[in-house]
Amino acid sequence: MGKINREDMLELTRRMTPARSHFTRIAGAYMDEEGYVDGTFNTNFRKLSAAEKNYTLAIAKEVVFSETNVALSQYRIPGMKPGSFWQLFYALCQCDLKNDALLLDFYEMIGEKYPKGKPYAIYVYHGVYDVPVKAADHQQVGDSEEVYSYLIVAICPQIGESRAGLPDCGLLYPVFTDRSADLAHVNIFSGRRDFLPKFLNL
C-alpha cells in the first residue's frame, strides 16, 4: 500500500465545486436487493440543474475528500489482463463513459459480489483536468502540460426511488500523483464498507 500525496489531492479536489468542476459525465445504476440492475442513467454533467450538481458533487466529494492515508488509501493494481476488471475500467475512462454496454458490464461485475439484502446505487463520474504548468514557486505560468482523465466511483445506499445517500465505499482511478496520471495505482475509499479491496484483490 502506497502513500497519497495530500498536495496532489488538494489540487484536484479544490476544483470540485459547481462553478469549477471538471466533471464531463455522470452515469450510474440502481441495483435491487439481489444485485441486479434495476435502472440506469448516463448524462452530461454540465447539463444538470444546480440542485443536481450540488447533490451529485456531495457524493463524489465524500470519496476524495475523505482523510488521506486513513479513510482513503492507495493500492497498486495487479495489471490490465484481458477480461480483467482493470481492462474494463480503463476502457470506461478512455471512452469518457459514452459506452453503455461497458457500463452495464461494470455494474453487473459489482452486482455479482456486492453484499445482498438491500438496494444500492453505483455512481460513476468522468472528469478531465487540464493540469496547468507551474513554475518553481508553484505559480501557474501557462497552458496545461497534461490532460488528466479520471473516474470516480461511489457505491451508495439507496434512500429513495432513483436517489442515493452518501457512499459506503468508492474509488478514484487513475491516481493523481506528482500532478500526473498514475495508471499503476488506485485510491480506495473504504468508508463504511470494506468491499473494494477484497473485490479487486488488492
CA separation for the pair 184, 18 (Å, rounded): 30
pLDDT at 137: 47
pTM: 0.92
- The pLDDT confidence band at residue 16, using thresholds 50, 70 and 90, is confident
How many other CB atoms are found less than 10 A from the CB of residue 94? 11
Query: Residue 158 and residue 167: Cα distance in Å, rounded?
Result: 10
**Would you give the DSSP letter of residue 46?**
G
Total Cβ atoms within 10 A of residue 109: 14
- What is the residue-averaged pLDDT of the chain? 89
- HSE value, Cβ hemisphere, 13 Å, CA-based, for 38: 15
CB 57 within 8 A of CB 17: yes
| Alpha-carbon gap, residue 130 to 110, rounded angstroms | 31
Whether 44 shows a pLDDT value over 90: the answer reads yes
Which range is least confidently modeled, 4-18, 89-103, 130-144? 130-144
Q: Which three cell numbers stand for residue 159?
A: 434512500
What one-character DSSP code corresponds to residue 116? Answer: P
Q: Where are the domains of the chain?
A: 6-194
Rg of the chain on CA atoms, in Å: 16
**DSSP designation for 68:** B
For residue 77 the three cell numbers come to: 493494481
Contact present, 48 and 157 (Cβ < 8 Å): no
Share of the chain above pLDDT 70, in %: 94
CB 27 within 8 A of CB 124: yes
